[in-house]
Structure 1
């Protein structure tokens, strides 16, 4: 019984650390629109890998932490971004344009 508890605790710790690493890792997408007045950006995620790489989902709208983040970003640009979910609103915490 004790060994099972220790094993489950270890599995939970690994799962938590993997989800934190995934949240910190940047996601790749293409900017489909920017609304500087509302402070939002629409990004369509791009899947990596070979299986289903040509399929794309719908664009998601994110709140921008600071309008200076999107100064050099335009619709059609490929970007790497990280998000946080605070109060039910998805917010861009890091945004980098790919070259």
Structure 2
């Protein structure tokens, strides 16, 4: 479950980034967003960010999952799926805890 979703303006406010910077994060897949709500606006999980921008370990994990054929929505779901065998109970919590190698290993397994 994703506790908090951010619109692009929310991301700008939270990180202090400009609109072109936030768009670049999305275009370059530092983070991924999904269209949600009645207006189908792009929203990004708040868990994808640290104080000043995207969680650094996230981009490579997104790349591995995307290369494995996962859609952006599937990537978001996989990162937030409960997994008690990981520190923090999910892949995204593990990335925040510094367990990037284990999360990426599991992401690679998803491609097979």
Range of TM-score over shorter length = under 0.3
Q: Is the helix fraction higher in 1 or 2?
A: 2
| TM norm structure 1 | 0.27
| TM norm structure 2 | 0.25
Q: Is the strand fraction higher in 1 or 2?
A: 1
Looking at CA atoms only, which structure, 1 or 2, has the larger radius of gyration?
A: 1
